[in-house]
Structure 1
Amino acid sequence: MTKHRPGVNIVPIHGKTPQIHDSAFIAPGCTIIGDVTIGAASSVWYNCVLRADVSRIVIGERTNIQDGSIVHCDPERPGDPEGSPCLIGDDVLIGHLAMVHGCIIADRGFMGLGAIAMNKAFIASDAMLAAGAMLTEGKRMGERELWGGRPARKMRDLDDAAIAGMRMGVAHYAENAKAHAKAVAEADLS
């Protein structure tokens, strides 16, 4: 399941090794550490860090985590035996330079450029956290909602055109990942 990927740092820690589906595209410059699972046809773009040294990170299928994003989690604590794993569903879009920390993003959720989602926050299916927004600890977005601001709050419901646009974005990244995988394979990264 986890194969050699040129220019990618895959680091086992605490007896856990990242599990990456063979069809996933992991761009050079990424570092993937510990208890990370990445599903089929997902993509992690250039210079991302996924660090699961204290809990786990699970990424579903056809999800993309765009350039420069950071994904982390938090361990169990007194009164919080589950801690804050980072659980990301299928067909999720995560924009460039996002900070995804110990939260849950349901299938088809969207997190905009430079957005932050904190421990135990929840982005529902077909919901969008706007670019630059900060979803604070424990906040829960509903399905088809757009939240923005720092701290984020509901701005409006998303219409069918916005949902269709997000689905097009998922399809675009899945296809573009194939082109990048081919280009990386042909490049001399030694």
Structure 2
Amino acid sequence: MQLFSFNGRSPKVDPTAFVAPTATLIGDVTIEAGASVWFGAILRADDAPIVVREGANVQDGSVLHVPPGVPVDVGPGATIAHMCLIHGANIGAEALIGNHSTVLDGAVIGARSLIAAGSTVLAGTKIPDGVLVTGAPAVVKGPIAGTGAEVWINANPPYYRNLAQRYREGMKPVELGG
């Protein structure tokens, strides 16, 4: 992992977290117990903190950034899927932000809500708990309870906690050569 201090603030990573060697954490970033930050993710906390709460995961290629004074908080067990942009937003517990989605300044995503792949949540939008959201701009489609989307909400947190543990224990560099 690449860790950089900025403006007198340095990243803090719990020893039980997994941060991939190609992830980059800059400034006031906190990674809590059992959380994971995957390959190529960039978390840049210039002027406000970024916190990835216990058991949350930030997947490959995602970017988390803060505008001045607007933190990013990724709730416990939440998922930021591949290639997402989270900019100054609050992501609720066990929420799932689908691949290649964008969540902008001051948006609040409710607990156990699912933002569908490719969606854009506009600045200042408040998404309630337990709903499916899709589109650009994103709109609430209805409750998740009892739908196929609920499977993803339930399965993702334990899967990524387990996968992170497997990587902590089993990932080894490989020497190429001849």
Q: Which band: TM-score by shorter chain?
A: over 0.9
2:58 to 59, 65, 68: 65
Pairing 1:26-175 to 2, within 5 Å after superposition: 26-75=19-68, 83-161=69-147, 162-175=149-162
| Cα root mean square deviation, aligned | 1.3
TM-score normalised by length of structure 2: 0.93
Residue-by-residue CA offset, 1:114-167 (whole Å, 9 max, x unaligned): 000000001100111110000000001011111111110111211245334312
Residue-by-residue CA offset, 1:7-46 (whole Å, 9 max, x unaligned): x110011110101100000012111000001110000000
Letter of the 2:173 partner, please give it. Answer: A
Residue-by-residue CA offset, 1:97-125 (whole Å, 9 max, x unaligned): 00011000011111000000000001100
Residue-by-residue CA offset, 1:50-77 (whole Å, 9 max, x unaligned): 00011110111000111000000011xx
Return 156-165 or 28-37, whichever deviates more: 156-165
Letter of the 1:181 partner, please give it. Answer: R
Distance 1:47 1:126 in 2: 25
Listed as ranges, the gaps of 5+ residues in structure 1 are 1-7, 76-82
Cα deviation, residue 182, structure 1: 2.0
How much identity, in percent, do the aligned residues show? 30
Cα deviation, residue 188, structure 1: 5.1
> 2:17 — aligned with what?
24
Letter of the 1:23 partner, please give it. Answer: T
Does 2:173 align with 1:187?
A: yes
Report the structure, 1 or 2, having the larger strand content: 2
Distance 2:139 2:151 in 1: 23
Distance 1:181 1:166 in 2: 24
**Residues paired across the two proteins, number:** 174
Distance 2:21 2:3 in 1: 11
TM-score normalised by length of structure 1: 0.88
Secondary structure (helix, strand or coil) at the match of 1:146 reads strand
User: Runs ≥4 in structure 1, deviation > 4 angstroms?
Assistant: none
